[in-house]
Structure 1
Amino acid sequence: MKALFLSCTLKPSPAPSNTEALADVVASALQERGVAVDRLRLTDLSVPPGVETDLGDGDDWPAVHERLLDAEILVVVTPTWLGRPSSVAQRMLERMDAMLSETSSDGTPVAYNRVAGVVVTGNEDGAHHVISEISGALGDIGYTVPGQAWTYWNQGPGPGPEYPDTEHGHEWSHSTGRLMAHNLHAVASALAAHPVPPHED
């Protein structure tokens, strides 16, 4: 089983990402369950705006799309900005919109029988809103989003330190992240054993 962690940080490599640091907790818990973890930071790629899988020369999204289809588990990793998902996360979802019309050889939508979750950080509130927006969109695309398939950290209202600069809330965020990994793996395993069949009108 494979998991793809798609990072929607605004920071290009090699700048450290606070949200990726929390996502590492989830990745480690999945690896303990025998899941192979693949990581990708979208700001390191050329991903122009659009709602198609391939926009032609200079578009790196087709390779991302291949890695999405190679993974049974997707974890979207995004900071909170102004109470909302990052602009990179929004562009990711817009490019994934093309998957709505893509099917496998048996006619099943390509996102079916795959699970997804969300990791969010920010030294502001809004994490539940970010989780809801991304989870809802992934459900529209065809992913199964298990219960408690998210974890987040925030400092609370007002300015304050970032995730790596304090231990505030880490115990809860890490515990929730490990539960997230458990649920993603359990539901992905169930779908592998009993996949959603093609729908016939």
Structure 2
Amino acid sequence: MAESKLSPPARYDDLKALFINCTLKRSPEPSHTDDLMDVCRAIMKTQGVSVDSERLVDHQIAFGVQPDMTDEGWDRDDWPQIWDKVKAADILVIGTPLWLGEESSVARMLIERLYAQSGQRQENGQFVYYGKTGGCVITGNEDGVKHTAMTLQYALSHIGYVIPPQADVGWIGEIGPGLSYGDEGEGGAPAGRNNAFTQTNATILSWNLMHTARLLKDAGGFPAFGNQDGETMSRQALGHPFWSPKG
């Protein structure tokens, strides 16, 4: 019998994905997190997804929770340039190394700056991140992958992103410290390259993000009922037993 050829259930070539690496290393210094993100980028690119990438430390991002911190007295803030790419992307993937079991300080700054935009509204009254999907890539050689995934995915969900099932992938190697993802392992290959658990989860993460983005785009976004501004909600029968939002 001829081997059956598997084909994806949909096309994904109208989707845009943004990968933001929150490594502490500036380009072109090698980044283990970037190495693992490369797997996800490659999978998406094979399906025609438009993929863009940024290292936050390559830019001067101001601290704060306003859309443009130059309005708050900072001399420079490159965040508005990054924001344009975030707003255009259907898929956001946050990558971070682990330090003492937590995401990097750069990743926390990214969450703060994403939060700064979260009050913006779409034309239908929904918050600006509705209709987008997100996940995370985490590397290190100490414990903290699942804890950090919970932190990042909760933050994304809270501001409006849809989080697919199994939307995280990580590498910690032997707890220890041990080998980082791109360090030379047995046979001279990068340590994480042949790890079945990590590579399987990188594949699942990539496909579930594409599936979710496809579903959201085909549906015209997330349903706009019960999650709009107060004026709109006050005209809807939301089913709440006693509270009526004021317009």
Q: Do Structure 1 and Structure 2 share a fold, with TM-score over 0.5?
A: yes
Local SS of the residue matching 2:97: strand
Distance 1:99 1:142 in 2: 11
Distance 2:92 2:40 in 1: 12
Local SS of the residue matching 2:81: helix
What is the identity, as a one-letter code, of the residue corresponding to 2:171?
W
Question: What runs of 5+ residues in structure 1 fail to find an aligned partner?
Answer: none
Distance 1:151 1:161 in 2: 17
2:57 corresponds to: 43
Distance 2:116 2:122 in 1: 14
The CA deviation at 1:99 is 2.2
Distance 2:126 2:81 in 1: 21
The CA deviation at 1:187 is 0.6
Q: Is the 8 A contact 1:9 1:19 kept in 2?
A: yes
1:66 corresponds to: 84
Distance 1:33 1:187 in 2: 14
Local SS of the residue matching 2:170: strand
Distance 1:17 1:5 in 2: 14
Equivalent of 2:195 in 170, 179, 184: 170
Equivalent pairs: percent with the same residue? 39
Q: As a proportion of its length, which structure holds more strand?
A: 1
Q: Is the 8 A contact 1:19 1:120 kept in 2?
A: yes
Distance 1:164 1:74 in 2: 23
The CA deviation at 1:45 is 0.3
Distance 2:27 2:84 in 1: 22
The CA deviation at 1:106 is 2.0
Equivalent of 1:197 in 208, 220, 223: 223
Aligned pair 1:181/2:206, yes or no? Answer: yes
2:102 corresponds to: 84
RMSD over aligned Cα, in angstroms?
A: 1.2
1:9 corresponds to: 23
Provide TM-score, normalisation by structure 2.
0.79
Note the alpha carbon deviations across 1:4-36, whole angstroms, 9 max, x for none. Answer: 000100001110100110010011111112211
The CA deviation at 1:39 is 0.3
The CA deviation at 1:171 is 2.4
1:131 corresponds to: 149
Provide TM-score, normalisation by structure 1.
0.96
Residues 113-124 of structure 1: matches in 2 within 5 Å? 113-124=131-142
Local SS of the residue matching 1:101: coil
Q: Is the 8 A contact 1:108 1:197 kept in 2?
A: no
Aligned pair 1:54/2:45, yes or no? Answer: no
For these two proteins, the number of residue pairs brought into alignment is: 201
Q: Is the 8 A contact 1:54 1:61 kept in 2?
A: yes
Q: Is the 8 A contact 1:150 1:180 kept in 2?
A: yes
Distance 1:179 1:115 in 2: 14
Distance 1:48 1:100 in 2: 17
The CA deviation at 1:196 is 1.4
